[in-house]
Structure 1
Amino acid sequence: MQRKLGIIAGGGPLPKYLAEHCQYNGREYFVIALVGNADERILHALPVKWVRLGAAGKIIQSLKDQNVEEIVMVGAVRRPSIMTLFPDWRAISIIFRIGTIMVGGDNSLLTAIAEEFEREGFKVIGIDELLSDLLAPVGPFGMIKPNGQDLKFIQSGIQQAQIIGQQDTGQAIVIQNDIIIGTENRNGTDELIKRCRNTVSDHGKPILIKIKKPGQDRRVDLPTIGARTVQLAAECGFSGIVVETGQTLVVDRTKVTKTADKCGLFVIGTKLNHEQ
């Protein structure tokens, strides 16, 4: 018998995808929806409890009350400051325990949170363990492919993205030719794309590169794109998007491919040689 799954839900469609997977496979599940992040329109029909991010005690107790044994953390979460988190006593004790990690990179923080859940007796698993079909394949997704010059710049850009990723600051960069014109910060990929919107010139269009950080914990915050990412990149004058094969989640690949072909933009998966 499958263990009951707890879904810690941030923003975007992935929490619902996961819930539907559980329904299809007859697996019991319960959703903890993070107030201010999760989308009520998507989750309203699911077994769900809405909890603010700083209410760690309530989150843990709710999962225990529901007899949850395994947890998946999925969906975008806006990172609050200590002042806006309004932590309860349980959250305060966790903050003291993880200390300076609170002001570190997202991967370090999310890994520390996953370890806190495991300290409480839960097993934290990655969404790709359940939805492996969402992982990016190798090669172009649609009819449009990068040209030889693009491929040269992409290879250089990937190397630079890996160096930046070692600092645990972001999963994405934007290049124009072989120059980085933007890096992802805590505001996310959409904001990065918008920041780089007016850089189209005779020297080439921007390309988004989104890959897993070196040494990143696969259980939390794998790079993710969807049709919205593609549409926004096209609106902002990009020529294409590069994702890492087997390490990036692609939400509704069919829609992503159709959107890319319609917008005249390439989306390609590339396999990297680094420690998984």
Structure 2
Amino acid sequence: MSQGDIAAPDLALIAGTGALPALLMRARPDMLLCELEGFASGIPGTEPLRFRVERLVPFMTELTRRGIRKVCFAGAIRRPKIEPAKFDLRTALLVPRIMGAIQQGDDATLRAVIALFEERRLEVIGADHIAPDLLGGEGVLCGKPTETDRKDMARAAEIVAALGAVDVGQGAVVARGLCLAVEALPGTDAMLDFVATTRPEAHRGGVLMKAPKPGQDLRIDMPAIGPRTVEGAARARLSCLCWRAGGVLLLDRAAVIAAAEKHGIALWGVQA
């Protein structure tokens, strides 16, 4: 059955790459799946509605025509290549506004995107509203953080807060009080690969901390931790993976816990 055959869905999923879109479609299979051209979600058995940034207004109009009232953004999307010749007039009129937001950073860009949809009476909701079980809570899921881990977590939380204040990243790695790496545009996996290849082989332990940016609108780009994150932490020889409770998604919780137990990594949600 194609997405167009589903009876009157009122919710659209604007999907990027990664594991999250498929998890959300599993939770709400009645959603209208939408994809930006060039960023296929790869969800099997679906026929997504595809769109281009240059024709954003016609896309939003089509959502309204189909009875969509709410949209959820999920998955990774890089800034696409823009082809000026493909702009329609209504979308072209938005370019100065969008470009101004892009120059202010990722948070401003995301807020501008939310505003564009809401101005057309399309409510933007977070992934946690569709699948609340994905939200990482407070407490230790496995392992036992050491006193050193606790000190490293506190230091990493300070660093992540400072990074977020200047709209840089949502993660940091700290070992014995020293910051080994911070998350930037390449993302968490690249940060962990850097730690794995640059720290001495004999050095072990340390904490990865993930948290939203201060004041971040969590409806878009909520930080996430998945089995791949745990594998990266294992390659980096870390001992603990932490997140701010209520502000980070755990993608496939059972698999995350299994991977952490396999590698002896503690999982810890904190009110940092």
Provide the TM-score with structure 2 as the length reference: 0.87
Q: Secondary structure at the match of 2:133?
A: helix
| Count of aligned positions | 261
Contact 2:172 2:183 in 1 (8 A): yes
Residue type of the alignment partner of 2:111: T
- Structure 2 unpaired stretches of 5+: 1-7
Relative distance call for 1:188 and 1:59 in structure 2 (3 A) is farther
Q: Distance in 2 between matches of 1:74 and 1:110?
A: 12
In the superposition, relative to structure 1, how do residues 174 and 79 fare at CA in structure 2: closer, same or farther (>3 Å)?
Answer: farther
CA displacement at 1:79 relative to structure 2: 2.9
SS of the residue aligned with 1:242?
Answer: strand
CA distance in 1, matches of 2:235, 2:193: 9
**Distance across 1 between alignment mates of 2:250 and 2:212:** 13
User: Partners of 2:64 and 2:58 in 1: how far apart?
Assistant: 10
**Aligned residue among 14, 33, 36 for 1:34:** 36
- C-alpha RMSD of the superposition: 2.1
* CA gap 1:203/1:263 in 2 versus in 1, 3 angstroms: closer
Q: In structure 2, what residue type is equivalent to 1:237?
A: R
Give the distance between the partners of 1:187 and 1:61, measured in 2 at CA. 33
1:187 lines up with 2:193 in the alignment: no
Relative to structure 1, is the Cα distance of residues 248 and 59 closer, same or farther in structure 2, using a 3 angstrom cutoff? same
- Distance (whole Å) between structure 2 residues aligned to residue 187 and residue 53 of structure 1: 22
Return the alpha-carbon distance in structure 1 between the equivalents of residues 92 and 192 of structure 2: 35
TM-aligned CA deviation for residue 186 of structure 1 = 1.8
Cα separation, partners in 2 of 1:153 and 1:196, compared to 1, 3 Å: same
Alignment partner of 1:177 is 2:180: no
SS at match of 2:78: coil
* Runs of 5+ unmatched residues, structure 1: none
TM-score by length of structure 1 reads: 0.86
Closer, same or farther: CA 120–245 of 1 in aligned 2, 3 Å: same
Report whether the alignment pairs 1:14 with 2:20.
yes
- 2: CA distance, partners of 1:51 / 1:191: 29
Q: Is the 8 A contact 1:126 1:220 kept in 2?
A: yes
Residues of 2 paired with 1:3 and 1:140: CA distance?
Answer: 38
Distance 1:271 1:95 in 2: 39
Structure 2: distance between partners of 1:104 and 1:234: 35
- Which amino acid is the alignment partner of residue 57 of structure 1? V
Percent identical among aligned pairs is 30
